[in-house]
Amino acid sequence: MARKKQIRTIGVLTGGGDCPGLNAVVRAVTKTALTRYDLTVVGIFDGFQGLIENRMTTLRPEDVSGILTQGGTILGTSNKADPMKFPVLLEGKTRLMDVRDQCLKHADENDLDAIVVIGGDGTMSAAIGLAEKGLIFMGVPKTIDNDLVGTEITFGFNTAVTTATDALDKVHSTASSHHRVMIVEVMGRYAGWIALHAGVASGADIILIPEIPYDLNAVCACVRQRSRHGKRFSIVCVAEGAKDKGGRCVVARRIKDSPDPIRLGGIATKLAYEIEKRTRLECRSVILGHVQRGGTPSPFDRTLATSFGCYAVEQLLAGVKNRLVVRRAGELAAIPLSQVAGKVRTVPPDHALIRAARAVGTSFGEK
């Protein structure tokens, strides 16, 4: 279906997991479009689900006033609403259906000329599927995991690292008081950016990330050595997707109707049991979980999200389409969505921060 060339109405949606800074982007998109270009902005509720079900609303300046500092998203979000694989109940059975034509119909009914889509790799994959049908998109990179290909940073990451670092700082006192090994599990899926940055920032003794498979014997040897040298506690920062030398991640559960059915989690509990059994040192596990997604976005994330949102609108008005706003070497740019969708940006094993951590004595669980 052919789309209008002149952009007068822009939709905006937030997809995937929630993240600090989403509201800052919605605010930037809306205010830039309304005040600078005199456009109409339509908020789409609950990610692509709102486009599928035709749940939208016109956004006014007062709708986005005061939301810069708020966590979460005023539009709602969903990580189960892939238009190419949307669960539909037919004859008592749930089937995954292609509902892209339905999305196009609702986009036309609301006069949407383009959509700013805020999300991660899964959200961008869904956008590509709709772009193939004629919709125009501009992506904004969102994820606390910082694992989107093509951009040096995503908004939400800085806030998540700050939250994780604060938690790690706090467990130092109880670990020291009780002479324990404290294992703190952070998010990140299959990338170790949060664990690496929070672990280094908090002075964790051991950092375990997916990119460097750990050896349990080496982890135990490290905490034993610290104990023998009078350091009666140890702090372990572990990414939820960290895996042992056998390549096994700990899976918390599987969700059948989700495009990404695997939910990682529980490795801290497993490590605490194994380390205590082997070393006879008292261990405790802490799983931070969704606390890393919540709360007020950091000043850095607010400014980054604002610049991303403004740039996304500017690019659309300049005739650019189906691209993702990114930051490279401190400068904003836009790259094709196809370069991002379905890909994961992992931590290079020779990353400068890994080298720095090793230089100050941090273990990554290697022999």
Annotated catalytic residues are 145
DSSP class of residue 244?
A: B
If we measure between CA atoms, which residue out of 6, 16, 73 comes closest to residue 37?
6
Concatenated DSSP letters of 19-76: -TTHHHHHHHHHHIIIIIT--EEEEETTTHHHHHHT-EEE--HHHHTT-TT--S-TT-
DSSP class of residue 113?
A: S
- Contact status, residue 30 vs residue 41, Cβ threshold 8 Å: yes
If we measure between CA atoms, which residue out of 17, 13, 137, 10 comes closest to residue 71?
17
For residue 165, give the H/E element and its range. Answer: helix 157-178
Residue with tokens 């929070």: 198
For residue 310, give the H/E element and its range. Answer: helix 299-317
What is the token pair recorded at 254? 């599987």
Distance between CA atoms of residues 123 and 219, nearest Å: 37
If we measure between CA atoms, which residue out of 46, 41, 144, 140 comes closest to residue 86?
46
If we measure between CA atoms, which residue out of 339, 350, 337 comes closest to residue 126?
337
What is the token pair recorded at 143? 């994820």
Q: In this structure, which amino acid lies at residue 115?
A: I
